[in-house]
């Protein structure tokens, strides 16, 4: 297993080089310039030129990339052009809400998806199954922003049970924190639950046709024990894969949900940085998100071994 981890870590080097060089090139080839974006209301060409020189933006692109890479290797991701703060501080502040939101959304999705998926598969083609699959289809089709607005309208404006927007850190104030994350987590969790329900249902249906299931039934096991002991465990692999990929997406890509609920997460940080052409910030965040994806994929691979001894790594 140590070998696998080391192997994976070695493979991340070319991936990270490709990702950072790609992002750097795309960003600099996109029209627009951070100084113009920052000083949008100033036509003062001299002031802009001196600021550009101050930030090293007047140097050739390969030089800028090499300088950036050099600093990254020394552990310095640079400073945001827009607010002048270190990139690491910017991300550090934003990663907490994003992680909390992702984990909460994931918990909500599992609470819904596991029972619904199991019942749907076990009682396939009954009305129970139809309700389950309809729910899943609804969750997948419903756009995030619409669901978010409906939830806000119902729980925030009409019933006034939950705050509409903003973020309180649950680590500091547990109740208020969870209340501030409730609506966004449900928004993301429902969509994810739909995906997980469908994946679980179809992989369970596949497992239910296996010979060992027939054998288990022939032994006289109750249907519940068949499902729990023989079907579910074998059906979990695709579910773990889906969750692993979604964790990365939830952390870096919950932009719309973060935007609507005014949550200060990583997704919004990177989108705002792109609009401001805040080069060091975008590059730094993308680098960290790429690292996050690599880590969560590694975690998924290790989990496979726990679920299925046959693919346990030596």
Cβ partners under 8 Å of residue 248, min gap 6: 289, 292, 293, 296, 297
Which of 5, 15, 54, 222 is the binder for another protein (CB under 8 A)? 54
Assess 5 for contact with another protein (CB under 8 A): no
183 contacts: CB under 8 Å, gap ≥ 6: 148, 151, 152, 155, 156, 162, 164, 261
Measure CA 118 to chain center: 25
Using the minimum distance from each CB to another protein, give the nearer residue, 135 or 259. 259
Interface pick for another protein out of 7, 83, 126, 222 (rule CB under 8 A): 83
- Per CB under 8 A, the segment of 125-133, 226-234, 271-279, 280-288 that binds another protein is 271-279
Residues 6+ apart with CB under 8 A from 100: 169, 170, 177, 181
Residues 96-135: x where in contact with another protein by CB under 8 A, - otherwise, as a string:
----------------------------------------
Interface stretch with another protein, choices 13-21, 187-195, 227-235, 272-280 (CB under 8 A): 272-280
- Give the closest residue to 247 by CA, choosing from 306, 303, 179, 175: 303
CB of 169 to another protein, least distance (A): 9
Cβ-based neighbours of 194, under 8 Å, separated by 6 or more:
113, 135, 136, 137, 138, 139, 140
Q: 235 CB contacts (<8 Å, ≥6 apart)?
A: 121, 200, 203, 204, 206, 207
Contacts of residue 142, Cβ cutoff 8 Å, sequence gap at least 6: 190, 191
State which residue, 77 or 200, has the beta carbon closest to another protein: 77
Tell me if 156 contacts another protein by CB under 8 A.
yes
Selected binder of another protein within 17, 70, 153, 299 (CB under 8 A): 153
Rank residues 135 and 261 by Cβ distance to another protein and give the closer one. 261
- Alpha helix stretches (DSSP H) within 142-278: 144-151, 174-208, 211-218, 223-226, 233-253, 255-260, 266-275
Give the residue with the Cβ less far from another protein, 47 or 131: 47
Distance CA 150, CA 249 (A): 23
Decide whether 224 or 275 has the Cβ nearer to another protein.
275
> Smallest distance from the beta carbon of 259 to another protein, in angstroms?
5
Taking residues 9 to 48 in sequence order and writing x for each that binds another protein by CB under 8 A, - otherwise, the string is ---------------------xxxxx-xxxxxxxxxxxxx
Copy the structure tokens of residue 33: 């310039």
Our finding on whether 79 is near another protein (CB under 8 A) is: no
- Whether 80 and 283 have beta carbons less than 8 Å apart is answered as no
**Shortest spacing between CB 26 and another protein, in angstroms:** 13
Binding site for another protein (CB under 8 A): 30-34, 36-48, 50-51, 54, 82-85, 93-94, 149, 152-153, 156-157, 160, 163-167, 259-262, 264, 268, 275-277
């Amino acid at each position: 297993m140590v070998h696998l981890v080391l192997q994976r870590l070695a493979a991340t080097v070319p991936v990270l080089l490709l990702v950072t060089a790609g992002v750097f090139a795309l960003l600099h080839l996109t029209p627009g310039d951070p100084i113009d974006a920052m000083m949008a209301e100033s036509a003062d060409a001299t002031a802009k030129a001196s600021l550009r020189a101050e930030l090293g933006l007047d140097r050739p692109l390969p030089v800028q990339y090499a300088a950036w890479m050099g600093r990254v290797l020394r552990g310095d991701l640079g400073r945001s052009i827009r607010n002048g703060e270190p990139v690491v501080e910017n991300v550090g502040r934003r990663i907490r809400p994003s992680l909390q939101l992702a984990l909460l959304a994931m918990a909500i999705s599992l609470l819904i998806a596991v029972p619904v998926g199991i019942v749907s598969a076990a009682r396939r083609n009954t009305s129970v199954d139809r309700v389950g699959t309809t729910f899943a289809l609804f969750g997948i089709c419903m756009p995030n922003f619409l669901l978010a607005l409906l939830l806000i309208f119902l729980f925030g404006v009409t019933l006034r049970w939950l705050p509409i927007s903003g973020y309180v850190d649950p680590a500091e104030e547990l109740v208020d924190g969870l209340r501030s994350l409730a609506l966004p987590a449900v928004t993301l969790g429902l969509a994810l639950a739909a995906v997980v329900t469908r994946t679980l249902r179809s992989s369970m249906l596949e497992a239910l046709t296996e010979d060992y299931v027939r054998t288990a039934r022939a032994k006289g096991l109750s249907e519940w024990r068949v499902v729990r002991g023989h079907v579910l465990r074998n059906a979990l692999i695709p579910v773990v894969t889906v969750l692993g990929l979604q964790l990365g997406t939830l952390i870096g890509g919950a932009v719309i949900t973060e935007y609507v609920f005014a949550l200060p997460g990583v997704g919004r940080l990177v989108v705002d940085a792109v609009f401001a052409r805040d080069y060091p910030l975008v590059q730094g965040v993308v680098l960290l998100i790429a690292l996050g994806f690599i880590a969560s994929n590694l975690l998924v691979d290790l989990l496979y071994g726990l679920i299925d001894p046959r693919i346990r790594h030596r």
